[in-house]
């Protein structure tokens, strides 16, 4: 597994903050890093596979990846991400306890992902741009003050949206519904119950999932299961039959056929390749 290093992503090992923007996202091989990462999905959608677990992400999502997490992006669309990198080797000059504010957004927790209204996301993107725009002020000693002040404004915007955001917004409901499906993707889904849970008709529920993910609800669940299975095939010695059952497939032959349709090789070939 690749490990991304501070030296490659910060201008100096003494820098506390850095930024990496992708258009489209190209980190599709599993990796970890020796820095923390605050991620805002600027546009597009895809699967974020974190510590072996797939999570659907879309425009406006925000999450916090710690330095001991391992992850990659399995694209379903064209992802454009804003990554604010945080160097644990050095301290902020003026801020303290920022991780306490960011920990509720932890990507390793299923409920950790936040979602930003479009206007809030655009405001946050503007703050990030200001944070990393070269200062014109001749007094360079002010630069850390300005950057840390903007970073604190960014965190406050995320926290305020999480605490006081519009719970009736259609996209927020969809964000919660997809989170529910991800949490229960290995079990049989009762679509009538899901529609009732989120106050939608079953027809509207199916249409929303198709519009957002580009897949039917059943194919979306199958993709979540297959991506989870692929991580286990590559990184564990669990038998392929057991992995199929663990990931919600009741028939190993159906699992093998579905796997080859999506990834182009059979599970056995995947394990040999790994």
Same domain, 150 and 247: no
pLDDT value of position 133: 87
Closest CA to 88 of 20, 18, 177: 18
Report residue 148: phi and psi, to 5°: -70, -35
Higher pLDDT, 2 or 109: 2
Pair (242, 127) in one structural domain:
no
Q: pLDDT band for position 20 (50/70/90)? A: very high
Backbone angles phi, psi at 60, to 5 degrees: 95, -15
Whether 152 and 192 map to the same domain: the answer is no
Position 5 confidence tier, pLDDT thresholds 50, 70, 90? very high
Burial 155-180 (b: 16+ CB within 10 A, else e): bebbeebeeeeeeeeebbebbbbbbe
- Is residue 238 over pLDDT 90? yes
User: What is the reported pLDDT for 167?
Assistant: 67
Q: How many domains does the chain have?
A: 2
- Using alpha carbons, list the distances in angstroms from residue 202 to 182, 184, 206, 220: 18, 18, 6, 16
Q: Are residues 205 and 94 part of one domain?
A: no
C-alpha–C-alpha distance, residues 273 and 243, integer Å: 17
Confidence band of 174 (pLDDT split at 50, 70, 90): confident
Which of 114, 137, 164 is the last residue in one of the domains?
A: 164
The pTM for the full model equals: 0.84
- What pLDDT is attached to residue 166? 63
pLDDT tens digit string along 134-167? Answer: 766 656 677 888 999 999 999 999 999 888 766 6
**Domain end among 164, 190, 215:** 164
By three-state DSSP, how is residue 17 classified?
strand
Domain with 174 in it: 166-274
Q: Examine the domain organization and report whether 127 and 10 are in the same domain.
A: yes
* Of the listed ranges 124-128, 129-133, 176-180, 204-208, the one predicted with least confidence: 176-180
**Which H helix or E strand runs over 164?**
helix 143-164
Token representation of residue 273: 């390749």
| Percent over 70 (pLDDT), the chain | 93
Compute the Cα dihedral for 233, 239, 243, 244 and give only its sign: positive
Name the token pair of 211: 């519009």
CATH number at residue 139: 2.60.120.10
Residue in this structure with the two tokens 């057991």, named with its chain if needed: 242
pLDDT above 80 (res 170)? no
Span 230-245, mean pLDDT?
93
Does 195 lie in the same domain as 142?
Answer: no
CATH of the domain at 171: 1.10.10.60
Q: Do 176 and 258 share a domain, yes or no? A: yes
Residue that terminates a domain, selected from 128, 143, 164: 164
> Quick one: 258 and 236 in the same domain?
yes
């Amino acid at each position: 597994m690749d490990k991304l290093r501070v030296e490659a992503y910060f201008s100096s090992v003494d820098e506390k903050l850095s930024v990496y923007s992708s258009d489209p996202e190209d980190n599709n091989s599993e990796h970890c890093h020796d820095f923390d990462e605050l991620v805002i999905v600027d546009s597009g959608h895809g699967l974020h596979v974190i510590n072996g677990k797939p999570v659907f992400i879309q425009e406006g999502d925000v999450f916090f990846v710690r330095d001991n997490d391992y992850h990659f992006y399995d694209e379903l669309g064209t992802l454009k991400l804003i990554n604010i990198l945080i160097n644990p080797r050095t301290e902020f000059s003026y801020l303290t306890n920022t991780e306490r504010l960011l920990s509720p957004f932890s990507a390793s927790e299923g409920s950790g992902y936040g979602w930003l209204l479009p206007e809030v996301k655009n405001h946050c993107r503007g703050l990030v741009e200001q944070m990393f725009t070269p200062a014109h002020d001749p007094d360079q000693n002010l630069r850390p003050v300005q950057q840390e002040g903007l970073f604190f404004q960014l965190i406050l915007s995320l926290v305020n949206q999480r605490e006081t955001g519009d719970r009736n917004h259609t996209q927020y409901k969809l964000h919660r519904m997809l989170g529910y499906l991800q949490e229960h993707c290995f079990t049989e889904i009762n679509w009538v119950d899901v529609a009732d849970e989120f106050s939608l008709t079953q027809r509207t529920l199916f249409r929303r999932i198709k519009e957002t993910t580009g897949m039917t609800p059943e194919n979306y669940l199958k993709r979540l299961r297959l991506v989870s299975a692929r991580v286990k095939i590559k990184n564990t010695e669990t038998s392929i039959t057991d992995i199929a059952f663990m990931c919600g497939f009741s028939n190993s032959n159906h699992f093998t056929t579905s796997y080859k349709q999506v990834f182009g090789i059979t599970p056995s070939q995947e394990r040999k390749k790994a």
